[in-house]
Every structure is written in structure tokens, then in C-alpha cells.
Structure 1
Amino acid sequence: MKEIAVNGCRECDHLSMRSRIAEALANYCHCFDGGDYDGLRNIFADAASIELGQSFSGSLDEFVLWATEQRRLGRQYSHHVTNMVVEENERGDAVSSISAVSALVASDDAKIPSRLVHGIYTDSWVRSGSSWRIRKRAYRPRITANLSG
């Protein structure tokens, strides 16, 4: 890890970065699950590329349209992100993270989850002012389970 002192505390800067990235990941879950598409746009860089396994692959604008369609079809999601690991390159100019994500999926009429999906997000981050935004997201599915019987 490159030693860069901002306000005299390299470790403080690293912890601040990790905290902001963890908050952005949590906000992603809340925004996607709650249908806050403007909020989603604030989590990703304008030119972001997003790949979600076989479900979706495209730009940020296309992702927002896809997420809107999921909601219109009555799909409700409850995302949970854990086990986050953040890494910087030696120069300190590139940041990436991996995190585990689980989501319960329910249809609007059932209100009871019918599917559980679990996988890994691999994200590349870019600094935007005092915040961090996802430049590239790749999702690798690990578990998909039907819960409805």
C-alpha cells in the first residue's frame, strides 16, 4: 500500500475510504430495493459498466431501465452485502473491492420470498469529490435456490 499522508494520517485515510465504500455498498442495497433510481445513479460513475451474471450486462442508463422493469414486473428484492474486502494498488490510484451479496426475491402478490440468490460483487471504484463511485461491477453467482417448494 502506498504511503500517502493526508492530514498526516495514512491509516485514517484508508479507514475513511473503506467506510465510504461500505456505505456506498449499503446504499446500493437500499436504493435498488426501494426503487430509488436517482440514488442508484449516485452510487455508480456516469460511464459505469455493470454485469450481473446472466441477468444483466450494460451501461448505467441501461441498468436503471432494467431495475425499473424488475419493479414494474412486481419483483421485490432484499439485498444484503457482507464480507467486504477493499484493496488499493501500490500507487494508491486504483481501488477495488469484493463483497458477498445475498438477495431474497419475492413477487408482488406473494410477499413471501420465492428465491434466494447469493454471489460475489467485484467492483472497481473511482473517487468523485469526497465520495467513491463504482466504475465497473461484475457479479458472479454462487447459489440460486427456489424457496417456494
Structure 2
Amino acid sequence: MSESSDTLTALTARIDALESRQAIIDLTSEYCHGFDKRDFDRFLAIWSEDCVWNIGPPFGSFSGHDGIREAVQDILWPAWQESHHLSTNHAISFRDPDNASCVCDVDCVGTLTGDTDCQIVGATYTDTVRRRNGFWKIVQRDVKIHYFNPIPGAPLKAPQG
């Protein structure tokens, strides 16, 4: 191989890693948008068909697209009247060009159905992600909930004016 060929190969790999890194971060953004806007198709699109979503206590673990559907439509959306996720601190490690892990922190503010007090949840998402047919998907998400607390007397209200 020539030096220019080696340079082009290295540059192509670096560009692929940058694009992959952004695509992996976008999975969490799509998770937040899909969940909070109650757009199930958008939410489901981030998960591989053989995925596992370990939400942990008090919610449980769910497998495959049917499990995701059950968790969201039968358990979580009925429990939450409103939610707003914020994710940050994405740390991505590549095992190879098509397999990676990602850890990020998330805060969620919302109200439970039938409640007027604001709830705040802090968690860490640990993901196993894989690129198949050119698209990154979550294979497994483990959720560690750090706190899940009401904020009495702090209702979520639209701005006045």
C-alpha cells in the first residue's frame, strides 16, 4: 500500500468513527423526543429487534419490540401525564467499527398521571449499541435510577403571557 492509500484509509476510518459517535448520541436524543412527544414509531426506531431494556425497579425488564411496546404503551405512558428528558455526558467506547457502548446521564422532569406535583428523576443509561445494515441501534439499555422524587407544591405549568 502506498502512503497516500494508508492516509486515505485512516481518514475514512476517522470520519466513520465521528459519524458513528454522532449517530450513537442521536439514539438517546430520539429516545427522549419519542418518549416525551409520545411518538411511538420514533421511539421504537432506536431499538434493535432483539433488544433488552432493563429499566430496573420498580418497572422491570423488557425484551424485543413487543417488550418495548408493552413497557411504553401499557406501563410508562399511562403512568406519566407529562415528561421532559434531558441527556448529557455521553461517553462512547468502540469495540470495533460496528459495536460500541455508551454511558450517559439523564434527568427527567414530569408529572405522574392524576398528580399535580412535579416529579424529578435522575438516572444513568448504559447502552450496548450495534450497527447493522448501516444503522446504529440499541441492543441493550440498562437504567440505573439514582432518585425518583416528587417536588411538592411545584406543578408544571405553561408560561403565562
Tell me the TM-score normalised to structure 2 length.
0.78
Aligned position for 2:121: 117
Q: Aligned pair count? A: 144
Moved over 4 A (4+): none
Does the 8 Å CA contact 1:103/1:118 hold for their aligned counterparts?
yes
Match of 2:47 in 1: 44
Quote how far apart the aligned CAs of 1:94 are.
2.2
| Change over 3 Å in CA distance of 1:140–1:74 after alignment to 2 | closer
User: Relative to 1, partners in 2 of residues 1:76 and 1:47: Cα closer, same or farther, differing over 3 Å?
Assistant: same
Post-superposition shift, 1:7?
A: 8.3
- Kindly, what percent of the aligned residue pairs are identical? 22
- In structure 1, the partner of 2:101 is 96
Task: Write the letter of the residue equivalent to 1:36.
Answer: D
Residue identity matched to 2:49:
D
Match of 1:27 among 30, 47, 53: 30
Structure 1 length as normaliser, TM-score? Answer: 0.84
CA RMSD of aligned residues (A): 2.3
Instruction: Pick the structure with greater CA Rg.
Output: 2
Structure 2: gaps spanning 5 or more residues = 1-7, 154-161
Offset, 1:108: 4.9
Gaps of 5+ in 1: none
Distance 1:19 1:93, change over 3 A: closer
Q: Is the 8 A contact 1:123 1:134 kept in 2?
A: yes
* Structure 1 range deviating more: 60-69 or 26-35: 60-69
Cα deviation digits, residues 32-85 of structure 1 (max 9, x gap): 111111112210000100001212311131222221133234532111111001
Partners of 1:29 and 1:99 in 2: how far apart? 12
CA contact (8 A) 1:82 1:100 kept: yes
Instruction: Identify if the C-alpha distance between structure 1 residues 7 and 83 changes in structure 2 by more than 3 Å, giving closer, same or farther.
Output: same
The amino acid that maps onto 1:62 is G
What is the deviation of 1:93?
Answer: 4.2
> For the Cα contact (< 8 Å) 1:104–1:113, is it kept in 2?
no
- 1:9 aligned counterpart, secondary structure: helix
